[in-house]
């Protein structure tokens, strides 16, 4: 397999990407395309499932073409995807019956509040490791069944299929032959029992979702079937699937309990490997599957931050204070600090460890002297502060000392942010040479399934450090900054709790 490659398909929230990796884990080719974001109402976020499919298929073909390789040179395809995003389609026509409801969408927040008020929180968390929240797939499926004409009747007749984005891609790549998902994506639906590793009948009844809609759950690394589209030569194995954060954890080679990574994408996601036993969080973190390989299941603690890189997009598209996302580092670095300005970017509510669906973005500490640079600095700072909130909860839940945070995703190239992250956390921040470890993780999972790589020990030798950031800011200054952030979060929560924003 020396002249062969693994193709990783990374279907994200704002773009679809394809990367071709060689046996050393190097990127041979890369293609990416953004697609339309749909905002029908405040707090609602949707995608056109056909946009997801067409852009992903398009960049896959583009990456292979750029590399100048034949389809026969691709040993396997791995898929990683934005999680929780919910698609329901007609099994007969293959057409979606509604837009994809994105993980950020908050339209079912009131229904979740009702379930919690009725006392279901403990049951759901015990079975799934998840809090009841509109972030996850179950209430999104229910919403579609309740609001699309004829959907419930079709579902009861077995004519509808539900899938997270991985399922939708496999369905299309195999020309409707396979309706599958992997255990990591299943664990994000609020319908999957992470202890029995099965869809849970009690949860299906609670959300009134027919079992016939659900995909078959498979491991994260195995041959599911073959791609049968015109995009590739036929019979390329589809051999690895994992939700984006799980793939990033694996791509970062966080394979031992206590190892932690943070992915800086549209959202921000800290994940800690906790080994083969789940750890129940008492601090509003999520207990989830890390991956399932060779019959062995690994678990993780996760803290999901809804808005990270998206705050930079907001500065670019909403406020217009930067022209390109990459401009933020120079603008933010033009001032010594945020000058007392704090931005709580709760544009889609607050995620872990707060889980306040009604919170909204709030800017504090603005004076007549506040400049665009201070707001840019506060925006970057907010990513680091939110990560601190999660890591503190993670350290307490796991009872494990954390000395290093491995980082990846688009914003990890921002040296200013990475240094501030190290200062605020008080730990070393390690950035690998291959920063797009989400795609790399998907490639690793697929490659292991077909023998492209021998084992995890071989993969661990490929992880290489690009740069390490060590804490430099005096701890008194850090404590003062953190106190200001915590005050801003308390104020943002108070604003949310003292009114009705219509969510």
Q: Which own/partner contact pairs does 214-217 have at CB distance under 8 Å and 24+ positions apart?
A: 214/162, 215/161, 215/162, 215/163, 215/167, 215/179, 215/180, 215/181, 215/186, 216/179, 216/180, 216/181, 217/180, 217/181, 217/182, 217/183, 217/186, 217/192
DSSP H/E element including 182:
strand 180-182
182, β-bridge pairs: 218
Is 93 assigned a ligand-binding role in the annotation? no
Residues 126 and 113: their CA atoms lie apart, in Å, by 18
95 is in an annotated binding site: no
Q: Is 135 annotated as a binding residue?
A: yes
Q: Quick one: DSSP state of residue 93? A: T
Q: How far is it, in rounded angstroms, from Cα 311 to Cα 315?
A: 6
Q: Is 83 annotated as belonging to a binding site? A: yes
Q: Is 26 assigned to a binding site?
A: no
Both tokens assigned to 349: 């509510």
| 245 in a labelled binding site | yes
Q: According to the annotation, is 14 in a ligand binding site?
A: yes
Question: What string of DSSP letters covers 293-360?
Answer: ETTEEEEEEEEEES-SHHHHHIIIIII-S-SSGGGHHHHHHTSSS-TT-EEE--BTBB-TTT-BTT--
Q: Is 15 annotated as a binding residue?
A: yes
**Phi (first) and psi of residue 408, to 5 degrees:** -155, 180
Task: Name every residue whose Cβ is closer than 8 Å to that of residue 140 and which is 6 or more positions away in sequence.
Answer: 84, 86, 101, 105, 108, 134
Check whether 84 is labelled as a binding-site residue. yes
Q: Is the dihedral of CA 409, 415, 419, 421 positive or negative?
A: negative
Query: Has 118 been labeled as part of a binding site?
Result: no
Tokens of 55: 């852009």
Q: Which residues contact 479 (CB under 8 A, 6 or more apart)?
A: none
Q: Does the annotation flag 426 for ligand binding?
A: no
414 is in an annotated binding site: yes
Annotated binding site for ATP: 13-15, 266, 309, 313, 410
Annotated binding site: 13-15, 17, 83-84, 135, 244-245, 266, 309, 313, 410, 414
Annotated binding site for glycerol: 83-84, 135, 244-245
Annotated binding site for sn-glycerol 3-phosphate: 13, 83-84, 135, 244
Annotated binding site for ADP: 13, 17, 266, 309, 410, 414
């Amino acid at each position: 397999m020396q002249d062969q490659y693994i193709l990783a398909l990374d279907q994200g929230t704002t773009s679809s990407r394809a990367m071709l990796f060689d046996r050393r884990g190097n990127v041979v080719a890369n293609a990416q395309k953004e697609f339309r974001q749909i905002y029908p109402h405040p707090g609602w976020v949707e995608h056109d499932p056909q946009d997801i499919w067409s852009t992903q298929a398009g960049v896959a073909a583009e990456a292979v073409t750029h590399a100048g390789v034949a389809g026969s040179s691709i040993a396997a395809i791995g898929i990683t995807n934005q999680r929780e995003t919910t698609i329901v389609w007609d099994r007969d026509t293959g057409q979606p019956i509604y837009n994809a409801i994105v993980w950020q969408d908050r339209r079912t927040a009131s229904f979740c509040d009702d379930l919690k008020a009725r006392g279901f929180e403990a049951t759901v968390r015990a079975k799934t490791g998840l809090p009841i929240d509109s972030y996850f797939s179950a209430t999104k499926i229910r919403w579609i069944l309740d609001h699309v004409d004829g959907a419930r009747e079709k579902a009861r007749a077995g004519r509808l299929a539900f899938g997270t984005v991985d399922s939708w891609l496999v369905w299309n790549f195999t020309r409707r032959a396979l309706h599958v998902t992997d255990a990591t994506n299943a664990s994000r639906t609020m319908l999957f029992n992470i202890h029995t590793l099965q869809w849970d009948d009690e949860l299906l009844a609670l959300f009134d979702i027919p079992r016939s809609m659900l995909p078959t759950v498979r491991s994260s690394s195995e041959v599911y079937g073959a791609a049968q589209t015109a995009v590739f030569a036929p019979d390329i194995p589809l051999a690895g699937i994992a939700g984006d954060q799980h793939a990033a954890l694996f791509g970062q080679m966080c394979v031992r309990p206590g190892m932690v990574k943070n992915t800086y994408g549209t959202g921000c996601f800290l994940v800690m490997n906790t080994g083969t036993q789940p750890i129940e969080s008492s601090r509003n973190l999520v207990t989830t599957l890390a991956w399932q390989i060779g019959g062995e299941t690994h678990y993780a603690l996760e803290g999901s931050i809804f808005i990270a890189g998206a705050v930079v997009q907001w500065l670019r598209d909403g406020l217009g204070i930067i022209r390109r996302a990459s401009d933020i580092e120079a603008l933010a670095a033009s001032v010594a600090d945020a000058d007392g300005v704090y931005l709580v970017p709760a544009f889609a509510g607050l995620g872990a460890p707060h889980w306040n669906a009604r919170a909204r973005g709030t800017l504090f500490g603005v004076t007549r002297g506040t400049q665009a640079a201070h707001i840019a600095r506060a925006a970057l700072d907010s990513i680091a502060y939110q990560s601190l909130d999660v890591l503190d909860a993670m350290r307490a839940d796991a009872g494990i000392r954390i000395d290093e945070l491995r980082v990846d995703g688009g914003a990890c190239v921002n040296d200013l942010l990475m240094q501030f992250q190290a200062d605020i956390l008080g730990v070393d921040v390690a950035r690998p040479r291959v920063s797009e470890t989400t795609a790399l993780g998907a490639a690793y999972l697929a490659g292991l399934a077909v023998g492209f790589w021998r084992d995890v020990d071989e993969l661990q030798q490929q992880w290489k450090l690009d740069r390490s950031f060590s804490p430099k800011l005096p701890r008194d200054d850090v404590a003062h900054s953190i106190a200001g952030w915590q005050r801003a979060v308390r104020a943002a929560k108070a604003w949310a709790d003292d009114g009705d924003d219509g969510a």
